[in-house]
Structures are given as structure tokens and as C-alpha cells.
Structure 1
Amino acid sequence: MIRQATTADAAAIAAIYNHYVLNTTVTFEEQTVTTEQMAERIEQVQNDALPWLVLERSGDLLGYAYATKWRVRSAYRFSVESTVYVKDAVTTKGIGSQLYQQLLAELKALGLHLVIGGITLPNDKSVALHEKFGFEKCGHFHQVGFKFEQWRDVGYWQKLL
């Protein structure tokens, strides 16, 4: 079941996310996120009238996807950045695809025009997910982040809705 997240989901979402914070470079956060901080993030996305979705199966939250404003200037109001995370144990089960399909449909229904995905490189799985949904690479920043004692590149993919 895919549904809108609530702040009651914050602990499960933080648990999924913190795995990536501590063990990967897919996020440039270096400190784990508390349940309270995650609840605030969920509220901010929803206050901006954007979707934050979770995929739940038998009471277990397996992944989430959401969109945030791309920039604060009003001319950017039809562009968003997308995010999707899946519980580490189930990353090859199509959960990310299910979430992305629903997220993109909801963003289109909201009248948004452009979705942007930022990907720490290399990350073949994330690139494949984005390209599966029609995203095209539009930019590449070299050595823009520093995590785990290494400089990291970030590529940007975009999709017109």
C-alpha cells in the first residue's frame, strides 16, 4: 500500500534513511537524523503542499519518496527535486519503482512541470531508476561533496512532466 506519510512514520523513515547516512554516499548528510527531525521534514514537505509517500506492506514501512521545492524564488515554483529511499534489505524488489511511479503521477496532477533528481556518482542503480522513468542527465558537478574521506561527484537528471 502506498499512502501519504504522517509524522507517526518518522521513526521508521529515519531508520531507513540513517542506514544510508552511516553506510553510503547516496546522501551527503554525515550525522544521523532523529525521529523529531524527520517529523519536521515531513511536516515541511506537506506544508509546501507536496507529497511525501510511504510504501507499507503488512505494517512494515519499506520505502518512501517525496518532493521538495527546487529553489525558493517564485519563478522556480513549478520545479521540484525528488527523493526516494528503500529499506536496505529490499532494494531489489521494485519498491523504488512503485514509489517513483506514484510520486511522478501526483506531481503531474499538482501541475508541476519539472522534476530534478540529484545522484551521487557512481550509482548505477539510481541512474537506472531515473532513466527508467524518462529522466535525462542534464548536469554534473565534479568533487562537490566530501564524505568518507573522498571527494564525490553529483549528477543531475531531469524529467519534464
Structure 2
Amino acid sequence: MTTIRSAHPADAAAIAAIYNYYVATTTITFEESEVSAEEMASRVTKVISSKLPWLVLEEDGKVLGYAYASKWKERSAYRFSVESSIYLHRDVRGKGYARKLYQHLFNLLRQSGVHLVIGGVALPNEASVGLHEKMGFQPVGAFKEVGRKFGRWVDVSYWQLRLE
């Protein structure tokens, strides 16, 4: 059975294992060194303590993916906008789990008064572009060659979803 629940720092090792695959093998994240379970627990705690959701999707007790919202910017006027992030275990992509996670995340954000969700997508990434399009995000721009990983420049497109 698949469930979505709030993440806890105790989920950090499973979350880090999912994330570190993308760190080591893709340009989806600009992180260049693997993240320890301790660092991931700190990140989960930071998001939760800022009153934003961090969710995990699990099946039969195993974490298969996660999604969370973080502050878009620190200035007070940005408090109604967040940035979303989502990662799935590499073996379960394409099964609709990302859509379920995002739907759950966005419902929680709506209930808390968030107005706008921003998503950044390192390019190329057809799966993430497709997910954001299916969820109703609109493209709003791109930074060319904003990051460098694995010896090449990477562009990032930005998307937004108005929740109200």
C-alpha cells in the first residue's frame, strides 16, 4: 500500500539515498558531493521548522520518494511564494508517484495560504518538464549556463503555479 506522510528526521537516510543517486549521476541537482544522512536530517528539520511541508511517499514501509516546499526568498514580501522540490527512487519513476506527491504537497500549501509555487528544472529533463506541465505550471523563463557540472554548462528553466 502506498501512503504519503510528513517526513521526519528519521527518514533522512532513505531520503539521502534517493537524492544521492541524482547527485552522483545527473545534472538534475547542482549539488556535487553526496549528502550525509545527518545533513539531510538537518535539511528536513529546517523545512519543517519553517512551517512548510516535507512529505515522503512510502510503500510497504519503504520510502520511494519525497517532495517539499522551501522559502523562495528570505524577504518578508516573498512569504506567500515557495519553491518546490521532488525526487523519486530511480526504480519507480513513471508510475504516477510524482503527481500524487505534488498534489498532496500543493493541497497542504493551499491550506496554509501559499499563493505561488516556483519550480526550477535543470535542462534537459523531459520527465520534470512533463510533470510540471501536467501539474499546471507555466514556464516563466530560463537562466542560460547558470551551473556547471560534469564539465558542462547547464541551463535552468523556471516554472510557476498559482494556487489561488
Shorter-chain TM band: over 0.9
Provide the TM-score with structure 2 as the length reference.
0.97
Q: Which runs of 5+ in 2 are unaligned?
A: none
| Residue matched to 2:119 | 117
Amino acid in the other structure paired with 1:11? A
| Residue matched to 2:64 | 62
Shift of 1:136: 0.3
How far, CA to CA, are the matches of 2:141 and 2:73 in structure 1?
17
Query: Deviation per CA, 1:83-113, whole angstroms, max 9, x where unpaired?
Result: 0000001111111111001001111111000
Amino acid in the other structure paired with 1:120? A
| Residue matched to 2:33 | 31
| Residue matched to 1:4 | 6
1:29 aligned counterpart, secondary structure:
coil
How far, CA to CA, are the matches of 1:35 and 1:148 in structure 2?
24
1:15 aligned counterpart, secondary structure:
helix
The count of residues paired between Structure 1 and Structure 2 equals 161
Amino acid in the other structure paired with 2:86? V
1:26 aligned counterpart, secondary structure:
coil
Which of 103, 106, 112 aligns to 2:105? It is 103
Amino acid in the other structure paired with 2:64? L
| Residue matched to 1:152 | 154
1:53 aligned counterpart, secondary structure:
strand
Query: Deviation per CA, 1:103-141, whole angstroms, max 9, x where unpaired?
Result: 011111110000000000111110110111110000100
Which of 127, 130, 135 aligns to 1:133? It is 135
Provide the TM-score with structure 1 as the length reference.
0.99
Q: Which runs of 5+ in 1 are unaligned?
A: none
Query: Deviation per CA, 1:10-53, whole angstroms, max 9, x where unpaired?
Result: 00000000000000010000000000000000000001100000
| Residue matched to 2:73 | 71
Runs of 4+ with deviation above 6 angstroms: none
Identity %: 58
